[in-house]
Every structure is written in structure tokens, then in C-alpha cells.
Chain A
Amino acid sequence: MSRQASRGTESKKMSSELFTLTYGALVTQLCKDYENDEDVNKQLDKMGYNIGVRLIEDFLARSNVGRCHDFRETADVIAKVAFKMYLGITPSITNWSPAGDEFSLILENNPLVDFVELPDNHSSLIYSNLLCGVLRGALEMVQMAVEARFVQDTLKGDGVTEIRMRFIRRIEDNLPAGEE
């Protein structure tokens, strides 16, 4: 059996502590580098975006999910397939807006924040903001412009962590310049 064939089917196990600690080290370093929480939040979002634009390809390669027909289907795929595949959790989907263009992802537990407590001098830090960037970047590659933001965070004393997803618009395929 070729090495290439077997690599696709085995799941690569990694210690989740290592992942949580790595993410924590990343955020800590950003806090040292940027000094104010707003800038750190922006950097996390940007980094998340760069991860998301590539992660979506891996997701499509591995999950065999086709194009979603509407935002509701997208929400289902994000919560039940994507979050499960990458973070091992299945957030619940709630609070649909009447127009069907906004929903919330409720995370009972967030693997990124195991062992984490926010110190008092970082009260406006959105610790897991990387996730919002990942969602935004990934969906942009499948032609959806969305906004993702944290509205509740267990790190700030809320009971659950809640990410609000808002559909902005569909990004149309553009023919490259010079085509008829």
C-alpha cells in the first residue's frame, strides 16, 4: 500500500492540551507584541482568516459535502460537520433571525479556553477571536460574505460561549478581466 493512500485514512491524533497551550502561547505573545486588546483582536481575526481560506479546502476534500443551497444548510454543516471535524465539538444552532440571515452557534465548551482565565487588564480581549476569522475566511471561499462575532464568552463570566453569524451577501463568480 502506498504511503500516500494510507495517510488519508488514518486520523492524526494530537494531544488537545498541546493545542490549547499552543493557542494560549500565541495569544499571550500577541498581547505582548500589540499592547492593546483591540489590536490583538484584529490580529487574531486576520490570522483566523488566513487559516480559514485554506481550511475550507481541506474540509471539502475530507468531508464530501457539496454546495449548500441556503444559509440554514450552511449553519448545519458548520455546526455538525466542520466543528466536529476540527474541534471535536458540536455547537447548537439557535436564535435564527426572522429573515433567516442570522443565527447563533452556542458552544457549551470551547477547547481553546481549557485552563484559561482572563486577567483583569485584558477585559476587552476576545480570546477565541481566531475562530471568527476562520469562519469568515472559509465562507468567503465558498462565495458567502459573513460576519462572525462573539456575543457571549465563558471567559467573561457568561454561561455559554455564543458566536453570532450574519449573512451579508453572496459573492458572485467573476470572470477574469479580458474575457468576453
Chain B
Amino acid sequence: MTVHNLYLFDRNGVCLHYSEWHRKKQAGIPKEEEYKLMYGMLFSIRSFVSKMSPLDMKDGFLSFQTSRYKLHYYETPTGIKVVMNTDLGVGPIRDVLHHIYSALYVELVVKNPLCPLGQTVQSELFRSRLDSYIRSLPFFSARAG
């Protein structure tokens, strides 16, 4: 079981952070385009999911999976989006994504007046704490599963 990579977006589609741990295949396009593609796709899926829902929406779009990986999604009312790709063995991880938002992004970036919002996070503390956190997750194994 493993975590492949993680994206963090803000409400304007700016990719605040990207990290990868186990990614065997790249998208074949420049990183900037990859972020735009990811954000645009998420935007469309969210809108699609709410339009086509046969019942009242509660949490909205949560995840999708293919035969090889699963994409998990978490969004805050302020438009901060946490996107994590894991392998298929990983169940719902909303609490993990919420932790990344509240204990890492909010604590280390939002609350730091020297960290400007609306652009890629430069904070090394954020990057390293996020990395330690992901590596400490029970479903992360150092060998790609």
C-alpha cells in the first residue's frame, strides 16, 4: 500500500504544493500543464457530480479509482483542495486529508504572516513536515506496493 503523490490547490487554481513519493509514470506534459489539467478536471467533476446527483448532496465528490490507483479529494469551504493519489488498497481518508489542511497547511502556512497566500508554498518546514506525515501514515510503505 502506498501514496503516489499529493497536490494542494487554492480557490483560484494555483497549485500551492506538489509532492511525489512513488510515481512510476509521468504525465508527459510540463508540470504547469499537469496542475492545470488536474484542477480543471476536479472543477468539472465537482460540478458534474452535484448536477447529476439523484439525492441532495452531502459531501460532494470524494474519490475516483481506476484499476491501478485511487484519487482522493478533499475541499474546504474556502476552496482549498487536497488531492492524494494512492494505490487501491487505501480506504476513505478524509480525516487524513483534513489533517493535511488543518495541522499542516493552516498551522504552518496560513498562520505564518511571512508566507504569502495565493502562490506556491516556499516554506521548507511545511514541505518537510508534510513529508514526515505522509511517511508516517499506516498505508504508506517505503517500497511501492
Which A residues fall within an 8 A CB radius of B? 4, 7-8, 53-54, 56-58, 60-62, 66-68, 141-143, 173-176, 178-180
Contact = CB atoms under 8 A, between A and B. Distances in A.
Contacts of A142: 77-78
Given A57-B80, A60-B77, A175-B13, A8 B103 contact: yes
Contacts of B31: none
Contacts of A67: 77
Contact of A141 (B13, B78, B102, B107): B78
Contacts of B117: 53-54
Contact of A179 (B11, B14, B40, B102): B40
A8 B43 CA distance: 31
B106 A58 contact: yes
A68 B77 CA distance: 9
A144 to B, nearest CB: 10
Interface in B97-111: 101-103, 105-107, 110-111
Given A4-B103, A4-B129, A179-B13, A56 B43 contact: no
A178 B36 contact: yes
Given A4-B129, A57-B110, A60-B76, A175 B40 contact: yes
Nearest to B47: A173
A56 B78 contact: yes
- The 6 A-B pairs with the shortest beta carbon distances in the complex, nearest first, are A61-B102, A176-B13, A61-B106, A57-B110, A179-B40, A141-B78
A62 B107 CA distance: 11
B111 A179 contact: no
Interface string B27-59: 000000000100110010000000000000000
Given A57-B76, A61-B106, A173 B11 contact: yes
Given A54-B111, A58-B106, A61-B102, A175 B43 contact: yes
A62 B102 contact: yes
Contacts of A176: 12-14, 36, 39
A61 B101 contact: yes
A174 B39 CA distance: 12
Contacts of B145: none
A175 B77 CA distance: 16
Interface in B1-35: 11-14
B79 interface: yes
B109 to A, nearest CB: 9
Given A8-B103, A61-B102, A67-B77, 18 more contacts: A53-B117, A54-B111, A57-B105, A57-B106, A57-B110, A58-B106, A58-B110, A60-B76, A60-B77, A60-B78, A142-B78, A173-B11, A175-B43, A176-B14, A176-B36, A176-B39, A179-B13, A179-B43
Contacts of A179: 13, 36, 39-40, 43
